[in-house]
Amino acid sequence: MGLDIGTSKTSAVIGEYNENGILEITGVGVAPSTGLRKGVVVNIEATLQSVAKAVEAAELMSGREAKVCYVGVAGANVEGINSRGVVAVTGKGREISQSDIDRVIEAARAVVIPMDREVLHVIPQTFIVDDQKGIRNPLDMIGVRLEAEVHIITGSVTTAQNIVRCVNRAGFKVDGLILQSLASSKAVLSADEKELGCLLVDLGGGTTDVLLFSDGAPYFSASVGAGGAQVTNDLSIILNVPMDTAERIKRDSGSCFMPHVEIDDLVVVPGVGGRPPQEVPRARVAGVIQPRMEEIFRLVRERVESMGYWRLIKGGVVLTGGGALMPGAADLAYEVFGIPVRTGAPAAVGGLVEEYRSPAFSTAVGLVMMGAERLAPEEVETRPRSGEKQKQKTKSGAIRKGLGDWFKEFF
């Protein structure tokens, strides 16, 4: 199960292997979230209730009980740094073994981080064997010196502990914490986009998370402390309506690109405190939304340009997250970034439900996909030559897993 605990909503997605060893999405659940602010837990009880409701809805749809989950983390408390490690090859005949690769990655992750932070991910970008650059997998190559360039993602220890505590108190076991934008990239980005170099912009409620890929690996991760909640807040103030009414107006009638809005279109704004409802031009609503969305995109561009990575983006920008559903978001992003922009939703994974094929579920679906890879390493790592053997192997793995679960449940 993938659990995306956000500022505005909590999404739960349940996936399972079918009899052919293919991952299928069988359940989707959503619940409003009020216990987080900008990716940080501010109310444990409210977060716990939100998690329980979302998971209950997903379990009801899938007809299965979820016990283990992978949880996404994001926000200003997550930071990414690039590092490099060097080791001497010790294998027989100077042949690079798996232990050499493990040692060089361990050497690369030996960076000084504050006591209140922990390493969430160490992702290899490229390997260098005796000054030969651009090597993806150095296993079984001959060399004397092995270097690795890695991207290290760290997060706040206390923030992670609070999220885990909420999920545990709701009755579920957390098997891993995964960066939300990394999970989203798994669900929405193609291999070609990662190879060319692309920028993933995950437009959430409280924060906008950014992940830049180049040559198939992440090179830069950051978070901008503004999201859809700021847009709703602006509408609430300008139109003099409560936050829930402003959210409804934003979803039903909002647009963040003025050229798309018809001049004659009107929006009914409910009255507050007994006042009669009034009609306002839809262009006025768009005039509030567009500047804030434009500001978010400009902040993203500034963050990437300040690190000197803008030149790496050759495959364009991919928008995902609930904010990407806003009409005109891709057109406005194109005006700000000046490079091709598309809206990314999870590809068809399988299963009976189609609700997950929305940008709002990118993170939760990506968490399920990454969790499935971790749970079934023998299926992922072994690649038999014939497709039939692969199928048999995976099927037996699924049967073994089912038997294991049965034994645990009854004994």
Euclidean distance between the first and the last CA atom of the chain, given in angstroms as a whole number = 23
Domains and CATH numbers, the chain: 79-154 (3.30.1490.110)
For residue 407, the model assigns a pLDDT of 40
Measured between alpha carbons, how far is 275 from 204 in angstroms, rounded to an integer? 33
For residue 351, the model assigns a pLDDT of 66
For residue 64, the model assigns a pLDDT of 85
For residue 144, the model assigns a pLDDT of 93
For residue 383, the model assigns a pLDDT of 37
DSSP state of 260: G
Query: pLDDT tens for residues 72-107?
Result: 988 778 889 999 999 999 877 899 999 999 999 999
Instruction: Answer yes or no: is pLDDT of 211 > 80.
Output: yes
Rg (CA), the chain: 23
Residues sharing a CB contact under 8 Å with residue 72, sequence separation 6 or more, in sequence order? 2, 3, 4, 5, 177, 178, 179, 180, 183, 363, 364, 367
β-strand pairing of 36-37 with 40-41: antiparallel
Query: pLDDT tens for residues 284-295?
Result: 999 999 999 999
For residue 261, the model assigns a pLDDT of 87
Contact between 142 and 94 under an 8 Å Cβ cutoff? The reply is yes
Query: pLDDT tens for residues 130-159?
Result: 989 989 999 989 999 999 999 999 999 998
Beta bridge partners of 95: 142
Instruction: Answer yes or no: is pLDDT of 381 > 80.
Output: no
Measured between alpha carbons, how far is 336 from 340 in angstroms, rounded to an integer? 11
For residue 376, the model assigns a pLDDT of 62
Phi, psi values for residue 145, rounded to 5°: -125, 135
